Structure 1
Amino acid sequence: MAIGDLIKRHLLDTRPLGVPAYRRLWFGQAVSHIGVGTTVVAVMQQVFELTQSSFWVGLLGMANFVPLVIFGLWGGAVADAVDRRKLLVAGSVIAWAATLFILLQALLGLNNVYLILAAVALNATGFAITGPTRGAIIPRIVEPELVPAANALNSLVFSIGAVAGPMVGAAMLVFGGYPAAYAVDALLFTGSLYAALRLPSLPPLGEVRPPGAKAVIEGLSFIMRSPVLLMSFVVDLIAMVFAMPRALFPEVTNEKFGGDPVALGWLNSAMAIGSVVGALFSGWVGRVSRQGVALVVVIAVWGLAVAAAGLAGELWLVVAFMAVGGVADVISSVWRQSILQLHAPDEMRGRLQGAFMVVVAGGPRLGELRAGATAAFGLTGAWVGGGLACAVTVLIVGLSVSRFRNYRAR
């Protein structure tokens, strides 16, 4: 096989961008995720500056996690019962309002950590509604065979934002302070809102369940009855809860790199750099059939890469190891999302996407809390120990379930 053909087989599949509705969603996310990245780095730094505590930075994870659980599961149930376009617009407006709120507190110089946590919680509420809704929309606007490619494209745009956003955020902190960083987010978020407004009407298909507790339980029961779906959630929780070191970044920046905001930006972007590379060369991912074993392997790689980064002393080496972890993470994300979307009937996709989003978005927040709490016993142990625990645990748990171990993609 010629080198050119080999590269084409492995490069990102861009066919979903030929669908206008998906293309607008994709570009809207591309713009808004850069803004999200600026706020992530600015909020972490502001909270650390106010409290001088990694534990308080870890509490940002809980401010995100609680709304994600409550409104993620509820938002997924609502997405199965109403027009998904209208719900996506409503959730986007809530998230935008939260961004404006955190911008206002910075402009007024309130310096109140509780107000910041409240703003983060409100933003998480909007994200908890839009996340499962957007995931449930994708199989409605692209053909089934394009779903894995669409998920890879989504991972790419998220990763680009996670690379560029913290760098933009670091620059804004140097030249304009917290108000400048939050203003960038407020401005760029309009791209995502515009894309939601341009979607066609997407009323529910099949049997409609009222969006209450019964509907949520029905969706969770579907997951519990499927060992493959359940284990795809479990291995991701292991990866994020044990090995996510993000809450440690401000303290590590202070201790190792002299408190340089640029170093903080690199630390926050490192994993996403690898995710961009992994997504760009994800053309082969859809051809892997033993996805259960493959998920276990890439998550173990993620844990080992995080542990190696925690042991590194030079900034470039920390970034390099975290980038390797980012490659593993984005590949894992594409497989897990595709398994879920193609297994779920349309009338249940919103609820299952809600549960998926609680795990995907909530897991890192629990990981941040874990990292922040264990930092009191030493930064190296909190970082390196978490990565090693992830690698060992996922190999034991992931390979112990035969249905998951032997799972082959359809």
Structure 2
Amino acid sequence: MRHSPAFARLWIGAAISGIGAQLTIVAVGLQIYDISRSTLAVSLVGGIALLPMIVAGIWGGMLADAFDRRAVLIVSAVAGWMSTIALVVLSAVDAAMSSGGSRVEVWPFYVFTTINAVAATITQATRSSVYPRILPTELVSRASALNGIAMGIQLTVGPALAGVLVALIGFPLTFAVDAVLFTAGFLGILTLPKLPPLTATARPGLQSLRDGMAFLKRAPNIRMSFIVDIIAMSFGRPFVLLPAVAATVIGGGPITVGILTAAAAIGTFMTGLFSGPVAHVHRYGIAIGRAITVYGAFILMFGLVIAAMQTGWFGPVGADIAHVNVVALVLAAVALAGTGASDEVSAIFRSTILLVAAPDEMRGRLQGIFTVVVAGGPRIGDLYAGILASLVALWFPPVLGGLMIMALIALLLRIYPAFRAYDARNPTL
């Protein structure tokens, strides 16, 4: 941050505006439930936005490679800002109508949150591809570590702030707070220097996509960084289980869900905060493999805690916080904090490989693919956990998933020695 004031402004702005983004995610769910009284209606927020987000990640990456990245960021930020303003207006209309006994339709919320998600996806893909242009290579890994700090702050402060603000000032003003916080991110973008393409690149379209996929085929280390993350997220995402775990296994209800969710975010934050040693690590492939192996071990630990509770090793629990099993809650929180910490270690090195090894003209497209992986993997993981929990038991998906992650990572590191040997002092595709 001292070396590059442009990076400092961009990072600070993104961290502040990200709090507002997380605030809106929670507030939209609360408002939709307040209108519809339907959990399914709330779950559709993410489901409807998934396909547009995937398209936006790929398209946004092509835009970032073909045009001035500062200009792409400005346009996507304005689109996101306008969708947030639309939520403010829509929520205000609903508040006015509710006094007369009627409510607005739910579908406009889906429209504006999807636009917001698309804009955020393009912004994220483009912003990450900017880092190597405004920082020297040896500082990119530290920039990736700083992103972990920002994400940890966003995931802890944003949702908590949403609950407090909705209760105190209502939905319209809560969305308005996000619109105000968004200005910090916009100012960070606006003060960037111009970042035009360094080489001639195909315009967004089929040829640009083909070029990106052809490059990925020639880049086994970058490709492997995607594969290992998909494995971790597909078999190690227990968050969809938390409401049932809190209601029937550990006890404590919504408060337990909040504690366990925050535990993972705190693990991410603390790892970013104490990530100075990443500057001295050069064998990124080994570091990623070990981090994801530890991630699998913590997922297994979480599953074993649930299994111990479900097999009657501890006493009965209740859905209110007064009847929570404190020992099980602490152990589960430690396990999820461990997953957040180890995943952040992996993320630091994976994102650095992506930014440093790839040439500048490909960084946008690869960041777009990376965004698709990040968005798609957890949803596959939710599906995996939900199906197996319904067919077997709540403890089964994390126990099996943890074992699968550790076994598959060990196998891949053995099969692909080039990834295991990756050295940041001599980055290779």
Flag whether TM exceeds 0.5 (same fold). yes
Give the 3 Å change call, closer, same or farther, for CA 380–273 of structure 1 in structure 2.
Answer: same
Equivalence for 1:35: 20
Equivalence for 2:190: 197
How many angstroms apart in 1 are the aligned matches of 2:385 and 2:110?
Answer: 18
- 1:131 deviation in Å? 1.3
Equivalence for 1:295: 288
Give the 3 Å change call, closer, same or farther, for CA 136–224 of structure 1 in structure 2.
Answer: same
- 1:79 deviation in Å? 0.8
TM-score by length of 1: 0.85
- 1:397 deviation in Å? 3.2
How many angstroms apart in 1 are the aligned matches of 2:170 and 2:366?
Answer: 40
Equivalence for 1:3: none
Give the 3 Å change call, closer, same or farther, for CA 161–361 of structure 1 in structure 2.
Answer: same
The residue type equivalent to 1:320 in the other structure is: V
The residue type equivalent to 2:379 in the other structure is: R
Q: Tell whether the 8 Å contact from 2:235 to 2:397 is kept in structure 1 after alignment.
A: no
Out of 207, 218, 233, the position equivalent to 2:211 is 218
Q: Deviations over 1:122-159 (max 9, x none)?
A: 22210221112101111111112211111111221122
Give the 3 Å change call, closer, same or farther, for CA 81–316 of structure 1 in structure 2.
Answer: same
Structural RMSD (CA) = 2.8
Q: Does 1:172 align with 2:172?
A: no
- 1:189 deviation in Å? 1.7
Equivalence for 1:154: 147
Please list every run of 5 or more consecutive structure 1 residues that lacks an aligned counterpart in the other structure.
1-15
Q: Does 1:326 align with 2:326?
A: no
The residue type equivalent to 1:67 in the other structure is: P
Q: Deviations over 1:60-84 (max 9, x none)?
A: 4433431222111111111111111
The residue type equivalent to 2:131 in the other structure is: I
Give the 3 Å change call, closer, same or farther, for CA 91–220 of structure 1 in structure 2.
Answer: same
Q: Does 1:118 align with 2:132?
A: no
Q: Tell whether the 8 Å contact from 2:148 to 2:344 is kept in structure 1 after alignment.
A: yes
Give the 3 Å change call, closer, same or farther, for CA 349–217 of structure 1 in structure 2.
Answer: same
Q: Tell whether the 8 Å contact from 2:68 to 2:194 is kept in structure 1 after alignment.
A: yes
- 1:266 deviation in Å? 2.8
Give the 3 Å change call, closer, same or farther, for CA 90–243 of structure 1 in structure 2.
Answer: same
Q: Deviations over 1:191-249 (max 9, x none)?
A: 11121122121111112221111112211221221211111000011111221233334
Equivalence for 2:181: 188
How many angstroms apart in 1 are the aligned matches of 2:230 and 2:276?
Answer: 26
Q: Deviations over 1:269-320 (max 9, x none)?
A: 2211011111112121232232212212211221222332343554343322
Q: Structure 2 matches for 1:23-62, cutoff 5 A?
A: 23-44=8-29, 50=36, 53=39, 59-62=44-47
Equivalence for 1:7: none
209-218 or 286-295, larger mean C-alpha shift: 286-295
- 1:186 deviation in Å? 2.8
Task: Name the SS of the counterpart of 1:80 in structure 2.
Answer: helix
Out of 358, 363, 378, the position equivalent to 1:364 is 378
Q: Deviations over 1:316-361 (max 9, x none)?
A: 4332221111111111111011111111111221111111222123
200-209 or 101-110, larger mean C-alpha shift: 101-110
Equivalence for 2:53: 68
How many angstroms apart in 2 are the aligned matches of 1:227 and 1:366?
Answer: 23
298-307 or 125-134, larger mean C-alpha shift: 298-307
Task: Name the SS of the counterpart of 1:189 in structure 2.
Answer: helix
Equivalence for 1:391: 406
| Structure (1 or 2) with the larger CA radius of gyration | 2
Q: Deviations over 1:30-58 (max 9, x none)?
A: 211212222333445566775665x7766
How many angstroms apart in 1 are the aligned matches of 2:408 and 2:174?
Answer: 38
Task: Name the SS of the counterpart of 2:395 in structure 1.
Answer: helix
Q: Tell whether the 8 Å contact from 1:61 to 1:366 is kept in structure 2 after alignment.
A: no
Equivalence for 2:349: 335
Equivalence for 2:368: 354
Give the 3 Å change call, closer, same or farther, for CA 399–216 of structure 1 in structure 2.
Answer: same
- 1:59 deviation in Å? 4.9
How many angstroms apart in 2 are the aligned matches of 1:308 and 1:59?
Answer: 31
Q: Does 1:130 align with 2:123?
A: yes
The residue type equivalent to 1:324 in the other structure is: G
TM-score by length of 2: 0.82
316-325 or 370-379, larger mean C-alpha shift: 370-379
Q: Tell whether the 8 Å contact from 1:170 to 1:264 is kept in structure 2 after alignment.
A: no
How many angstroms apart in 2 are the aligned matches of 1:250 and 1:165?
Answer: 20
381-390 or 338-347, larger mean C-alpha shift: 381-390
Out of 51, 65, 71, the position equivalent to 1:80 is 65
Higher relative contact order (CA 8 A, sep 6+): 1
The residue type equivalent to 2:376 in the other structure is: G
